[in-house]
């Protein structure tokens, strides 16, 4: 490992996140002590297109990242010479966007003579829960719900995960975004549906709960089609009722499967992660279900649920400790998967 002898509580990591439409940098010490966490959202740039435009995202990252990094270092109140390693999300995500953060991190690591650490964005979302909750005990079941992913993960220990279930089509956040777009609620869809649903009747329309009683996988594309068909047939329906009924259908399935997953592995805790974890109904139902089961529930703050670099700095610390630095000739990986392990903790697939 270049420039770093050991990884411990005093190891300071500068972390960068540019996998999608948030430009973020953070300074994290010892894997859990967040010294700064700066996030600059590009939502305004993409809103008029109704979704993230990859080319605009990459260019915006190039423009804003230097200032975001400077702010993260200055808010951490440290001198750059104190930084022991530089980390960046190297997948999954938009390739052009990822390359901006990866290139910046490598350049800084090379210049400062410290290790570079490439981080899996999905793994980082798992650490976001641990960053804010020191009462968590393994085994945990994490429901990771974002714009690109919907997964139930059995987390046996740090670095030991297996995927219990995942979506077979759309991600939960994607369903929120597509339904919101159809209803004319704007982008990003999740927060807009969440807000208008407060004024609606969640029992008004009985939308399907796909695969509710089958295993731990999810399917959301049929629900989206049901919403579209229903509104076309009933053009005068209240948008708030549609939003509330749709949200209820998504949350019912997410919570029912989380409970089933927690029971199947005898989990001691349930953790929410990913952008959809900001949803108010999901948070309330997830907490209620955990209480019913008598197990610990961890609901990271909204800032920690959505994309940020503090979670990248945390995951990087654990990766650096277990695997050492990432070679500077390692690229970016738009389709990177979570590195899972078998029951004995042996990695099931090789990734960079």
Binding test (CB under 5 A) with Zn ion, winner from 192, 307, 326, 338: 307
Place of tokens 């295993």: 215
User: Could you say whether residue 146 binds Zn ion (CB under 5 A)?
Assistant: yes
**Candidate list 194, 217, 241, 285; residue touching ligand KG4; CB under 6 A:** 194
Is 177 an interacting residue with respect to ligand KG4 (CB under 6 A)? Answer: yes
Kindly indicate which of the ranges 152-160, 187-195, 207-215, 341-349 contains the residues binding ligand KG4, using the contact rule CB under 6 A. Answer: 187-195
**Strand 85-91, strand 12-17: pairing:** parallel
Q: How far apart are CA 234 and CA 226, in angstroms?
A: 12
For position 22 contacting Zn ion by CB under 5 A, the verdict is: no
Residue 191 interacting entry, from Zn ion, ligand KG4, none, C-beta within 5 to 8 Å by type: ligand KG4
* Whether residue 92 has a cis bond before it, omega within 30° of 0: yes
Pick the closer one to Zn ion by CB: 11 or 146: 146
Distance CA 319, CA 333 (A): 17
279 binds Zn ion (CB under 5 A): no
Expressed in angstroms, the distance from the first to the final Cα of the chain is: 16
Query: Does residue 101 bind ligand KG4 (CB under 6 A)?
Result: no
* Shortest Cβ 329–ligand KG4 spacing (Å): 26
Which residues lie below 8 Å from residue 255, measured CB to CB, with a gap of 6+?
282, 285, 286, 289
- When the beta carbons of 147 and 200 are compared against ligand KG4, the nearer one is 147
Among 13, 20, 68, 336, binds ligand KG4 (CB under 6 A): 20
**Is residue 146 close enough to count as binding ligand KG4 by CB under 6 A?**
yes
For ligand KG4, which residue of 58, 120, 150, 279 counts as binding (CB under 6 A)? 279
148 forms part of the interface with ligand KG4 (CB under 6 A):
yes
Among the residue ranges 46-54, 193-201, 286-294, 299-307, the one whose residues contact Zn ion (CB under 5 A): 299-307
In the stretch 155-174, what mask flags binding to ligand KG4 with x, by CB under 6 A? ------------------x-
Query: Least separation, in Å, of the C-beta of 171 and ligand KG4?
Result: 7
Contacts with ligand KG4 by CB under 6 A lie at 20, 146-148, 173, 176-177, 188-191, 194, 274-276, 278-279, 306-307
């Amino acid at each position: 490992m270049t420039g770093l002898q050991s990884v411990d509580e005093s190891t300071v990591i500068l972390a960068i996140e540019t996998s999608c439409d948030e430009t973020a940098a953070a300074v994290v010490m010892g894997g859990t002590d967040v010294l700064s966490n700066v996030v600059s959202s590009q939502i305004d740039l993409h809103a008029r297109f109704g979704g993230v435009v990859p080319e605009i995202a990459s260019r915006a990252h190039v423009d804003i990242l230097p200032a975001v990094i400077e702010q993260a270092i200055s808010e951490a109140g440290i001198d750059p010479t104190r930084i022991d390693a530089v980390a960046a999300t190297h997948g999954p995500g938009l390739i052009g966007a990822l390359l901006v953060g990866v290139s910046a991190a490598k350049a800084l690591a090379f210049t400062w003579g410290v290790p570079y650490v490439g981080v899996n964005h999905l793994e980082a979302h798992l650490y976001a829960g641990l960053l804010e909750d020191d009462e968590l005990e393994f085994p945990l079941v994490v429901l990771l719900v974002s714009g690109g992913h919907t997964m139930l993960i059995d987390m046996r220990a740090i670095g030991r995960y297996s995927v219990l279930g995942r979506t077979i089509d759309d991600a939960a956040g994607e369903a929120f975004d597509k339904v919101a777009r159809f209803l004319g609620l704007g982008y990003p869809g999740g927060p807009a549906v969440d807000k208008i649903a407060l004024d609606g009747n969640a029992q008004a329309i009985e939308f399907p709960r796909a695969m509710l009683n089958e295993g731990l996988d999810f399917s959301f594309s049929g629900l989206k089609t049901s919403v579209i068909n229903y509104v076309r047939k009933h053009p005068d329906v209240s948008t708030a009722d549609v939003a509330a009924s749709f949200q209820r259908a998504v949350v019912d399935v997410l919570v029912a499967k989380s409970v089933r997953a927690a029971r199947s592995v005898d989990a001691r805790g349930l953790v929410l992660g990913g952008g959809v974890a900001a949803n108010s109904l999901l948070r309330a139902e997830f907490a209620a279900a955990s209480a019913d089961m008598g197990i610990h529930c961890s609901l990271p703050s909204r800032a920690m649920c959505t994309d940020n670099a503090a979670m990248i700095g945390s995951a990087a610390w654990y990766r650096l400790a277990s695997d050492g630095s990432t070679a500077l000739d390692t690229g970016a990986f738009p389709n990177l998967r979570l590195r899972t392990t078998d029951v004995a903790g042996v990695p099931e697939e090789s990734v960079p």
